[in-house]
Amino acid sequence: MRAIRGRRAAFLLFAALFPLPVAVAASAQDIAERAIRLDQTIQALKDEVIELSREAQAIENAAIIPEHRRLSVYLKVAVRGLLLEEVGVAVDDQPAEVYHYEESDARALLGEHALQRVLRTSVEPGPHRIRMSAKGQYADARPDDPPVTLSYEAIFDKSQREAELEFAVTRASRFGDELRLSMKEWRKRQ
């Protein structure tokens, strides 16, 4: 008889009712010690791979999308229950980059502070046109309800620093159903 708990108990309810024989239990002890030693090793390896990934990402950014040409476009959804299906972002005359959502990432985007980077690309300093379109549906929508579609187009001036644009899907007014897409630019304080 072993300790079990809450919702995790669904699987654990299958757990054995009777103790293992002594010989097997001794072997289980050895396995438990090995498991802990390995867990320590794996934690250290994770640390190293994370550090390597951080460095490699910084190198790639510097080499392929240097900061003075870097454009990062983020998206936030601040409308409860709105699950995006796809988002398209186009800069100047380039074809739109389209991102398709699974339910899991559409839900993740509904987090209070969550912001998704939907595009990172290279553009010359100077003015540029950007267009964003989004399509989605409310989680409780009926199958025959029309999808929610939004679009936004703006000009932004790219400086010698990374441009960070945030698009936000919000309600147009506090009590209305109408939605809107807006944009603002962020800049790191030097």
Partner 1 sequence: MRRPLALLLAAAASCATAAELYVPGTLDDPRVRMADYLGLHKRHFSAVVELGLVEGADDPLRMPADYQWRLADNLLAFGMRDRAEALYRQLAATSTETEEDVERIAKAQLRIAEFEYQRGYWAEARATLQRLRGSLPQSLLADWQDLLSRVLMAEGRYGEAAEILALLNESDAESPYSRYNFGVALIKDGRAPQGQTVLDRVGRLNPTDLEELALRDRANLSLGWHFLQSQQGGTAKPLFARVRVEGPFSNRALLGLGWAELAPQGERIAKVTVGDEEVDPFTRFSTLGVLMRPGFVEEDIFKRAGLRAFRLTKASKEEEDALRKALVPWIELISRDPMDPAVQEAWLAIPYTLDRLGAHTQALQYYERAVEVLEKARARMTAARISIRQGRMVETIVRRELDSEAGWEWKMLDLPDTPETYFLQTLLAEHRFQEALKNYRDLRLLARTLDSWSQRMDKVVATYGREDRPPAQPDELIRRARDGWSPPWQGLQIELRAERALAVPGAYAGAARRPPALRPQLRLAGPPARFNGPLERARTAQQRITDLREPLKVAAAEQAKLLEDLALTELVGQQEQIERYLVEARFALARLYDRQRMGEKGEMNDQ
Q: Which residue carries 């867990």 as its tokens?
A: 39
Q: Name residues whose C-beta falls within 8 Å of residue 84's C-beta, 6 or more positions apart in sequence.
A: 77, 101, 106, 109, 134, 135, 136, 169
Using the CB atoms, write b or e for 44-57: b if 16+ within 10 Å: eeeeeeeeeeeeee
Q: Looking at 78, 86, 90, 128, which residue binds partner 1 (CB under 8 A)?
A: 128
Q: Taking contact as CB under 8 A, which single stretch among the options 64-72, 82-90, 136-144, 168-176 is the one that binds partner 1?
A: 64-72
Among 22, 80, 95, 126, binds partner 1 (CB under 8 A): 126
Residue 119 CB, nearest distance to partner 1 (Å)? 12
Binding to partner 1 in span 12-41, by CB under 8 A: 12-17, 20-21, 24, 27-28, 31-32, 34-36, 38-39, 41
The span from the CA of 147 to the CA of 170, in Å, is 16
- The whole-angstrom separation of Cα 119 and Cα 113 is 18
CA 95 to chain centre: 23
Q: 144 to 183, contacts with partner 1 by CB under 8 A?
A: 152-157, 159-161, 164-166, 183
Q: Does 4 bind partner 1 (CB under 8 A)?
A: yes
Where helices occur in 3-119 by DSSP H, the ranges are: 9-12, 22-64, 103-108
Q: Closer CB to partner 1, residue 148 or residue 163?
A: 163
Q: Which DSSP helix (H) or strand (E) runs through 118?
A: strand 116-122
Q: Which of 90, 96, 105, 171 binds partner 1 (CB under 8 A)?
A: 105
> Which segment (79-87, 101-109, 142-150, 168-176) binds partner 1 by CB under 8 A?
101-109
Q: Which is nearer to partner 1, 145 or 157 (CB)?
A: 157
Binding residues for partner 1, total number by CB under 8 A = 92
Question: Which residue of 80, 113, 142, 174 would you call a contact of partner 1, by CB under 8 A?
Answer: 113
